[in-house]
């Protein structure tokens, strides 16, 4: 028999959710989102469950994102399957965000896209020396969804803007320093964490603090002032100009990276973050991202980005429009426009 792609169980006061799709780096699909949601709902008012623990089978990664191939295939048609996936995934994200019991994510390995969406809302987010974090969506014609419009603008300064636009990859020293993750534990301390948590399941943060190790100096720290200065602009064109005018090796390296990304995605992502920064309700952000998701997956750039990066792997996407000037405010307005009332995303009751 094939094992379930999500394993759930209750033991010692802890509701365990284990992602179990290791060959796909636990990339999320509709069934996985539904299974996690069902478990969380069943535990929400269960006195036998004092906290929830989300981890993964194997050692290669926590969760590398969503099922991009399925989303692209759906987007090439009417996008109904992609929208159904986004609807369920974003409801899971929101359920975790508002969950009444402490949730811990053991972010041991690759955590990107959808993996960020199921870990960032958690109260305790434990990184290890194997953690690699990124929101790389602008490289495939998408945008940093799963709550990126909420979480990224709330990181220090303009770090979230830099992460969203460049898709930069961070290790644990940076993620804990920036508050993306709450604690650093060596991977060989995770079993001790699980064992101690089983004796004190209501207080995972206290258990993590008791085992926490030094994550070392954060490589990002010397660049924070430049990030805050250069990525503070409200148009992508102004960010490009600021990086070029700065002229430092670091700034020019960022500019070179940005020039490889989808111009449409860069503009969508910047507007998404600037809009999300001013929202006061996480659900409003998820509704915005749902509108975007169902539309962006049908665009040329998403189809081309998935072809270049995931399918053919030539890493040579041909974006259209090919430059920033080709993406108008009217184009963005159409992507961000409200849906008919009966098609809007709503959180679980």
SS (H, E, C) 318-344: CCCCCCHHHCCHHHHHHHHCCCCHHHC
Q: What is the DSSP string of 171-204?
A: EHHHHHHHTSSSEE--GGGHHHHHHHHTTSTT-H
Distance of CA 17 to the CA centre of its chain: 18
Of 87, 218, 238, 92, which is closest to residue 161 (Cα–Cα)? Answer: 238
Residue 348 in any domain: the answer is: no
Q: CA–CA distance from 348 to each of 37, 118, 291 (Å)? A: 10, 16, 17
Residue 328 in any domain: the answer is: yes
* Helices 236-246, 159-166: crossing angle, 10 deg rounding: 100
| pLDDT tens sequence across 174-202 | 999 999 999 999 999 999 999 999 999 99
On the question of a cis peptide bond just before residue 117, with omega within 30 degrees of 0, the verdict is no
Spatial separation of the C-alpha atoms in residues 107 and 313, rounded to whole Å: 27
Q: Is 117 a catalytic residue?
A: no
Locate the DSSP E strands across the chain.
6-11, 14-19, 51-56, 61-63, 103-107, 110-112, 124-127, 132-134, 170-171, 183-184
CA atoms lying within 13 Å on the CB side of residue 81: 15
Tell me which of 66, 113, 160, 293 is the catalytic residue.
Answer: 66
Beta strand 170-171 with 132-134 is: antiparallel
CA atoms lying within 13 Å on the CB side of residue 250: 11
Longest Cα–Cα distance of the chain, Å, equals 60
Q: CA–CA distance from 284 to each of 41, 62, 180, 256, 291 (Å)? A: 21, 27, 21, 34, 11
Tell me which of 67, 89, 145, 174 is the catalytic residue.
Answer: 145
Query: What pLDDT shows up at residue 2?
Result: 83
Spatial separation of the C-alpha atoms in residues 340 and 349, rounded to whole Å: 20
Residue 231 in any domain: the answer is: yes
Q: In CATH, what number is assigned to the domain containing residue 10? A: 3.90.226.10
- What is the count of structural domains for the chain? 1
* Full residue range of the structural domain in which residue 112 is found: 6-343
Q: Is 66 a catalytic residue?
A: yes
Structure tokens at 68: 């991009």
Tell me which of 114, 117, 141, 160 is the catalytic residue.
Answer: 114
Structure tokens at 261: 């990304």
Residue 42 in any domain: the answer is: yes
Residue 349 in any domain: the answer is: no
Spatial separation of the C-alpha atoms in residues 79 and 295, rounded to whole Å: 8
What is the gyration radius of the CA atoms in the chain, in angstroms? 20
Which pTM does this prediction carry?
0.96
User: pLDDT in tens for each of the 349 residues of the chain?
Assistant: 688 999 999 999 999 999 999 989 999 999 999 999 999 999 999 999 999 999 999 877 899 999 899 999 999 999 999 999 999 999 999 999 999 999 999 999 999 999 999 999 999 999 999 999 999 999 999 999 999 999 999 999 999 999 999 999 999 999 999 999 999 999 999 999 999 999 999 999 999 999 999 999 999 999 999 999 999 999 999 999 999 999 999 999 999 999 999 999 999 999 999 999 999 999 999 999 999 999 999 999 999 999 999 999 999 999 999 999 999 999 999 999 999 999 999 999 8
Structure tokens at 227: 């990030």
Tell me which of 5, 108, 120, 137 is the catalytic residue.
Answer: 137
Residue 171 in any domain: the answer is: yes
Residue 1 in any domain: the answer is: no
Q: Is 191 a catalytic residue?
A: no
How buried is 86 (Cβ within 10 angstroms: 0-12 exposed, 13-18 middle, 19+ buried)?
A: buried
Query: What pLDDT shows up at residue 60?
Result: 79
Residue 100 in any domain: the answer is: yes
DSSP label at 28?
Answer: B
Spatial separation of the C-alpha atoms in residues 315 and 67, rounded to whole Å: 19
| pLDDT tens sequence across 282-297 | 999 999 999 999 999 9
Query: What pLDDT shows up at residue 1?
Result: 66
Q: Are 262 and 236 in contact (CB under 8 A)?
A: no
Token pair 């064992």 is at which residue?
195
Q: Is 137 a catalytic residue?
A: yes
């Amino acid at each position: 028999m094939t094992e379930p792609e999500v394993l759930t169980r209750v033991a010692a006061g802890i509701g365990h959710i284990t992602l179990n799709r290791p060959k796909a780096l636990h990339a999320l699909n509709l069934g996985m989102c539904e299974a996690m949601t069902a478990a969380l709902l069943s535990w929400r008012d269960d006195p036998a469950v004092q906290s929830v623990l989300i981890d993964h089978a194997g050692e290669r990664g926590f969760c590398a994102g969503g099922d991009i191939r399925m989303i692209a295939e759906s987007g090439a048609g009417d996008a109904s399957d992609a929208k159904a996936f986004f609807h369920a995934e974003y409801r899971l994200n929101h359920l975790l965000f508002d969950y009444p019991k402490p949730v811990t994510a053991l972010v041991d390995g690759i955590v990107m896209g959808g993996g960020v969406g199921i870990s960032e809302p958690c109260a305790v987010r434990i990184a290890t020396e194997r953690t690699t974090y990124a929101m790389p969506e602008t490289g495939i014609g998408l945008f940093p969804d799963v709550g990126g419009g909420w979480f990224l603008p709330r990181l220090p300064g303009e770090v979230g803007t830099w992460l969203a636009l460049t898709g930069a990859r961070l290790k644990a020293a940076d993620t804990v320093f920036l508050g993306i993750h709450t604690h650093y534990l060596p991977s060989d301390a995770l079993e001790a964490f699980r064992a101690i948590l089983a004796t004190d399941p209501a207080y995972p943060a206290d258990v993590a603090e008791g085992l926490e190790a030094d994550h070392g100096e954060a490589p990002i720290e010397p660049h924070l002032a430049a990030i805050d200065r250069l990525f503070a602009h409200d148009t992508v064109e102004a960010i490009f100009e600021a990086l070029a005018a700065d002229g430092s090796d670091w700034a020019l390296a960022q500019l070179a990276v940005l020039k490889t990304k989808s111009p449409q995605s860069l503009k969508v992502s910047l507007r998404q973050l600037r809009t999300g920064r001013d929202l006061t309700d996480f659900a409003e952000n998820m509704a915005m991202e749902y509108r975007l998701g169902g539309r962006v997956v049908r665009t040329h750039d998403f189809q081309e980005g998935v072809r270049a990066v995931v399918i053919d792997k030539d890493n040579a996407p041909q974006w259209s429009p090919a430059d920033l000037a080709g993406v108008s405010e009217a184009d963005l307005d159409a992507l961000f426009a409200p849906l008919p009332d009966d098609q809007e995303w709503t959180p679980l009751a």
